[in-house]
Chain A
C-alpha cells in the first residue's frame, strides 16, 4: 500500500526515511503539536513550498533544464484564485473557476515558452523564462486596477475556511477547531496529494524518458524520443503543479501580491531549496523546503543579533544586517552548487549505498 502510494520509489536511506516520517508527522499534527499562529503559518508555508519545490525539481532535477519562471506560475495560481474570489465573491464554485483559469493560463504559457525556447537550445529556456517572468512581474504591478498593483489584493475565502468559523463546539485536545484549522488541513492534504502525484509522474515511463534525455540528449533522440516534446510537456506539468502551489498559498494567506508570489527573492529561495535538498529527487524537495523555511525564520533573527554584536567593526555589521539576507543566501547557493551538488538527499543515499 505504502509502496504503491510512493510509486515504488521509497527513500533509499534509513536516516532519510526517518527524517521524512518525522516531517510528515510533524506537519500532519502541527496545529496540535505547535499551537500558535506563527507555528501553523510556518507549517502551512512548508507544505506549500514542498509542492512548489517539487514542481521545480521536475524541471531542473529530472529534466535538466533551468527555469526562472517557477514563481510566475506560482503567482498565476495565486492571482487566478485570489482575483476570482475578490471580484466574484468567496464561494466554492468561484474558487474552482479560479483554479481552472489559472491552470489553463499557466499551462498555455508554459507551452508557448517551451515551444519557442526548447526547439533550438535548452539554454534559451533559462534566458527566456527569466525575461518572461520579469515581464509578468512588471505587468502584474502595472495593471493595478485588476491586480491591486504593488499592494496586491486581500480577499475572502469560502465560509468554511475563515478563521471566524467555528467547526466544533468544544475544543479538541485543547485546540479550538476553527476554519483556520480546516484551511490548514486542506493545504496539508492537497500538498500531500500533489506530492504523491509528482512522485508518480517522475517514476512513470514519462519520467524515465526525461531522465534519459537529461543524461544524454543525443542518445535519447537517437532512440526515437522527441526531446522537444518531452521537455515541453515536462515544463507544462511542472507549471501546473506550481500553479496548484500558488492556489494553496492564496487560500492560506487570503492575500495575493507580487512580493509573496512573483518576486525574484522567492525564485532564489526555491532554487536554494532544490539545491540544498538535492536535485533530481523529490524527497529533496521535502527536506530542502522544511529545512530552509525553519532556518529562514531563525537565521534572520540571528543575523540581527550578529549585526548588533559586531557594531564598531568596519563593514561587518552591514554585511550581517538582516537586510543582507540575500547575500547569505547567494553565498550559500554558490557554495552548495560547488561543494554539495547532490544535496542532502544525495549525500544520504550515497552513504546508504556504501
Chain B
C-alpha cells in the first residue's frame, strides 16, 4: 500500500528490535532521556550576580537564606496548583483562599496553646506549631473537597468560566474571613524557641527561616517519592500527560483528581501557616498577595511540572529578595521581568510537561 511504500525509507533501525532476541543486534545503545540541566544553572547565575552586586558575603548569605525560605513556602503553595492544572486542566484562581484560611485556622489553634508557644522549650514550641499546621491542613483539605464539588466541578473544561468562578470564590472566601474574624490586621507571634538567629561568626541565620527551608525540602522530597515510587504517583504523572489513557486503563481519574485537589488545598493551607508566621502579621488578603508570586512560579516552571515549580519558586524568591535589598521599590516587577525573560527563552516554561 501507499503508506507502506512511503515508510520503507524510514524507521530502519526498528528492524533489529523485532528480530529474535538471540540475533546479535546493533550495539546495545539503550536510550536514556537526556536530563535537561540547563535551567538548574539559573539560580547559580542569579546568585553569583547578586553576590557581585551586593559585595558582602554575609549579607548575601542572609539574603540567600531568606530567599530559600520564601522559595520553599511558595513552592509548598504552588505545587498543588500546578498538579491540579496538569492533571485536569483546571486553573484555580481560588487557591489563595486556602492560604488565608490556613493562616486563620492556625491563629485560632495557637491562641489557646499560647502557653506552649511562649514556653522556653523548643519541643513544646514545635508541638504547638505541628498541631496548628495539622489542623490547618485538615481544615483546608476538607474545604478543598467542598470547593471542588461546588465551585470547580460544574465548570470542567470551560476555562473562561473556571477563571471567573474561582476568582469569585476567592473573593467570597476572603470577605467571609473578614466578616468572621474582623477586618483588622492579625498577628501571629513566632514561638519563643524559633525567634532570633543562630550566630556563626558574623553570619546570622534566622531560625524560623531554617525551619521553613526544612519543611519545604521535606514536602518536596515526599512529593518526589510519591510521584516516582508509588502507583498513585505514577498515575498522577501519567494523568498529567494523558488523562484519557489513564481512564482507558481502568482507573477513575476523577477520584485521583479530587485527591490531588484536596492534597493541594491542604498544602496551600500549610503554606499559609508558614507564610503568616514568616510575616507575623496578616489579613485575609494574604492569599491574593502570595498568589501573584505563585502564578509567576508555575508559569516559569512549566504548568504541571513539580520539579519546574520547585526551581521556579527558588528563582522568584531569589530575585525578590536580592532586588528588595538592592532596589527595594521594584521587587515584584523584577519577578515579572524574570518571567518574561524565561518565557522568551522557553515559551512553555522551564520544564514543560508533555501533553497528548
Complex: A in contact with B (CB within 8 Å)? yes
Interface residues, chain A, with chain B CB atoms under 8 Å away:
60, 64-66, 112, 116-117, 119-124, 126-128, 130-132, 134-135, 138-139, 142-143, 264, 268, 271, 275, 315, 318-319, 321, 323-324, 326-327, 329-331, 333-334, 337-338, 341
Chain B residue nearest in CB terms to A143: B329
Contact A323 B183 (CB under 8 A): yes
Contact size range, B: 35 or more
CB-CB under 8 A from A271, the residues of chain B are 164, 167
Chain B residue nearest in CB terms to A267: B167
Contact B180 A120 (CB under 8 A): no
Chain B residue nearest in CB terms to A318: B179
CB-CB under 8 A from A264, the residues of chain B are 288
13 contacts between A and B (CB under 8 A): A66-B163, A116-B347, A117-B343, A122-B159, A127-B295, A128-B295, A128-B299, A130-B93, A321-B179, A323-B183, A327-B176, A330-B169, A330-B171
CA distance A93 to B183 in the complex (A): 45
Contact B165 A338 (CB under 8 A): yes
Identify A334's interface contact among B169, B292, B339, CB under 8 A.
B169
Beyond A135-B332, A324-B178, whether A331 also contacts B292 by CB under 8 A is no
CB-CB nearest 5 A-B residue pairs? A327-B175, A330-B171, A334-B168, A127-B295, A330-B172
Beyond A128-B295, A264-B288, whether A123 also contacts B91 by CB under 8 A is yes
Chain B residue nearest in CB terms to A271: B164
CB-CB under 8 A from A60, the residues of chain B are 160
CB-CB under 8 A from B178, the residues of chain A are 323-324, 327
CB-CB under 8 A from A327, the residues of chain B are 171-172, 175-176, 178-179
Contact B175 A275 (CB under 8 A): no
Q: Which of B283-312 contact A (CB under 8 A)?
A: 288-289, 291-292, 295-296, 298-299, 303
Contact B180 A334 (CB under 8 A): no
Binary per-residue interface labels of chain B (166-201) against chain A in the complex, 1 for a CB within 8 Å, 0 otherwise: 011101101110111001000000000000000000
Chain A residue nearest in CB terms to B181: A318
Chain B residue nearest in CB terms to A125: B163
Beyond A120-B347, A127-B299, A334-B168, whether A139 also contacts B160 by CB under 8 A is no
CA distance A70 to B303 in the complex (A): 24
Shortest Cβ distance from residue B69 to the other chain A in the assembled complex, whole angstroms: 21
Beyond A327-B176, A334-B168, whether A142 also contacts B91 by CB under 8 A is no
Given contacts A132-B336, A331-B168, 19 further A-B contacts (CB under 8 A): A65-B160, A66-B159, A122-B159, A123-B163, A126-B91, A130-B295, A135-B292, A135-B332, A142-B329, A268-B171, A271-B164, A275-B164, A324-B175, A326-B174, A327-B172, A334-B165, A337-B164, A337-B168, A338-B165
- Most chain A CB neighbours (cut-off 10 Å) among B93, B163, B292: B163
CA distance A66 to B160 in the complex (A): 7
CB-CB under 8 A from B340, the residues of chain A are 112, 116
Does B149 interact with chain A (Cβ within 8 Å)?
A: no
CB-CB under 8 A from A319, the residues of chain B are 179
Does B242 interact with chain A (Cβ within 8 Å)?
A: no
CB-CB under 8 A from B288, the residues of chain A are 264
CA distance A135 to B332 in the complex (A): 6
CA distance A19 to B348 in the complex (A): 47
Contact B171 A135 (CB under 8 A): no
Shortest Cβ distance from residue A129 to the other chain B in the assembled complex, whole angstroms: 10
CB-CB under 8 A from B296, the residues of chain A are 127, 131
Binary per-residue interface labels of chain B (309-344) against chain A in the complex, 1 for a CB within 8 Å, 0 otherwise: 000000000000000000001111101100110011
CB-CB under 8 A from A331, the residues of chain B are 168, 172
CB-CB under 8 A from A318, the residues of chain B are 179-180
Shortest Cβ distance from residue A242 to the other chain B in the assembled complex, whole angstroms: 19
Does B157 interact with chain A (Cβ within 8 Å)?
A: no
Identify B154's interface contact among A116, A120, A128, A338, CB under 8 A.
A338
Shortest Cβ distance from residue B328 to the other chain A in the assembled complex, whole angstroms: 8
Contact B180 A330 (CB under 8 A): no
CA distance A333 to B333 in the complex (A): 30
Beyond A126-B91, A338-B154, whether A131 also contacts B295 by CB under 8 A is yes
Does B252 interact with chain A (Cβ within 8 Å)?
A: no
